[in-house]
Amino acid sequence: MGRCGRGEFAYQAVCRYIEALINQADPTEEGRLPSLRDLAARLKVSLATVQNAYRLLEHQGRVRSVPKSGYFVAFDARAREQSAWPRSRPAFALPMATPMALERALFAQERRLSRQSGPSSWRSGQGALLRHVLAARYTRSSGHSWNAEHVHLATDVQALLVTLLRALRLQGATAVVATPCCRRLLEALRWAGMRVLEVPAGDDGALDLDRLAQLLACERVRLVVLPSCLAVPLGRRVSLSDQQAVAHLLADHPAWLLENDLDSEHCFGGPPAMHLRDGVDIGRLLVLGSLEATVGAEGPYAYLLCRQTGVEEAIARRGFLIPPLRQQAIAQLYAKGEVEAWLPRMRSELQVSMDHLFLQVESCLGGRLVVARPEGGRVLWGRLRQPVNHGHAQVAVAGTGLTITPGERFSLQGNHMGYVALTWQGAPWEALEHALHRLDRALARPPDDGAAE
């Protein structure tokens, strides 16, 4: 069996793609996965490669095959309810491609390190260089500085956040979250047993500062979860005035601020000069980020910045296993400036893709969906002009590379009904128009239409 461009067997890359689809599947639905032919065409691999990937995942119990029907997610609701820890998941809902330039540099670094005086040379630090590099990236001044011991690494966002909340003894405490919010963060708060109060965005996508102030004044809020500078899936940059207003509110309340920094590098014009964290008490600040946002799929690791004592011990007990060689190689990419050199091109390519998606959606779905041009991210957020059957819509675009997610999935309290999030990961781009026309026909159907597709 051949190898793909990442230095791994092709079926392993296909497995990772299917696993991302599994992770975003809704247990309340049938969980149909793309057919062998659809997936082979989408990923440009052979049918045998896709079949091997499905067989492996079926052997692991993550996929089930139904004769003459195809492959489906093997949901196990009971096991999930009883599990004490969330299943390892990537930071982003869809796998992020790693640019070939960074892939080659990363693998070259790993080969060089492996040849240097044996494993002891890169294992001894156990990620110390990577933590030092990340601390330096977030240090802004002598009064707002981070050290390597303040940086904690993990294999995925959810498990890291659950570990943190337990270490801070926040189980059962009240958290305020700006929504729509990354579902992985919401699920982590739920797994930690927290009481979650939401501050839904207004029609213009802006944070409801009055609602936030009201909750801080009336509730015993122990944790506030807000975006750093880019609100995703809204695709809206948080204004400097909103950041300053939030910092002013938090100055009078002894709550932890969890800054969601997962998407900041995906601002099309680059991250702003100021972030939310720059105006708050660093002693009550928690910053959550992901290497995947910059390095891509070869760096699917989460990190946390926190100055609170005891957190490092809790995370060490959790025992996240990140390959030391990969940690060291990623650290070298940052230290040599290769990641920073790549970021402007990444943002430019991302903006071109999202602009194209926006224009195509306006052209094909303008009568059914109101969308705003995003300022960053990989998701297009829109308001439906009339109620729809989301099941019809999801079936219509299955296997096309276009994904439609109901807005209430980005809330724990059923907010954002009537909104949807669109993502596109198909190829070629010419296929997008066909997928949107299929979606248009599905959205035109009455919500109670139960006829077969």
pLDDT at residue 28 in the model: 63
Domains of the chain as residue ranges with CATH = 1-83 (1.10.10.10), 100-340 (3.40.640.10)
Q: By CB neighbour count within 10 A (0-12 exposed, 13-18 middle, 19+ buried), where does 284 fall? A: middle
pLDDT at residue 17 in the model: 81
> What pLDDT digit, counting tens, does each position of 175-203 carry?
999 999 988 899 889 988 999 999 999 87
Question: What six digits make up the tokens of 285?
Answer: 């600040």
pLDDT at 83 over 50: no
Give me the helices (H) in 179-267, please.
183-191, 209-218, 240-251
State how far the Cα of 155 lies from the Cα of 7, in Å rounded to an integer: 21
216, 253 contact by CB (below 8 A):
yes
Residue 2: band (very low, low, confident or very high) from pLDDT cuts 50, 70, 90: very low
Tell me the one-letter amino acid at 23: N
What is the CB neighbour count within 10 angstroms for residue 442? Answer: 22
Question: What six digits make up the tokens of 37?
Answer: 């032919």
Residue 92: band (very low, low, confident or very high) from pLDDT cuts 50, 70, 90: low
247, 279 contact by CB (below 8 A):
yes
Query: What's the rounded mean pLDDT across residues 285-313?
Result: 92
Residue 77: band (very low, low, confident or very high) from pLDDT cuts 50, 70, 90: very low
**DSSP letters spanning 243-305:** HHHHHHHHHTS--EEEEE-SSGGGBTT---S--GGGGS-GGGEEEEEETHHHH-TT---EEEE
Query: What's the rounded mean pLDDT across residues 341-356?
Result: 93
State how far the Cα of 224 lies from the Cα of 395, in Å rounded to an integer: 36
pLDDT at 93 over 80: no
Query: What's the rounded mean pLDDT across residues 152-170?
Result: 92
144, 278 contact by CB (below 8 A):
yes
Query: What's the rounded mean pLDDT across residues 338-356?
Result: 93
pLDDT at residue 55 in the model: 82
pLDDT at residue 80 in the model: 45
188, 175 contact by CB (below 8 A):
no
State how far the Cα of 79 lies from the Cα of 62, in Å rounded to an integer: 12
pTM for the whole structure: 0.79
**Mode of pairing for the β-strands spanning 174-179 and 195-200:** parallel
In whole numbers, what is the pLDDT of the chain averaged over residues?
Answer: 85
Question: What six digits make up the tokens of 293?
Answer: 């946002």
Q: At what angle do helices 430-444 and 338-365 cross, to 10 degrees?
A: 50
> What pLDDT digit, counting tens, does each position of 235-267 carry?
999 999 999 999 999 999 999 999 999 999 999
Q: Which of 102-111, 112-121, 188-197, 368-377 has the lowest mean pLDDT?
A: 112-121
Distances (CA, A) of 195 to 170, 224, 236: 10, 12, 26
Specify the residue for token string 């309810």. 81
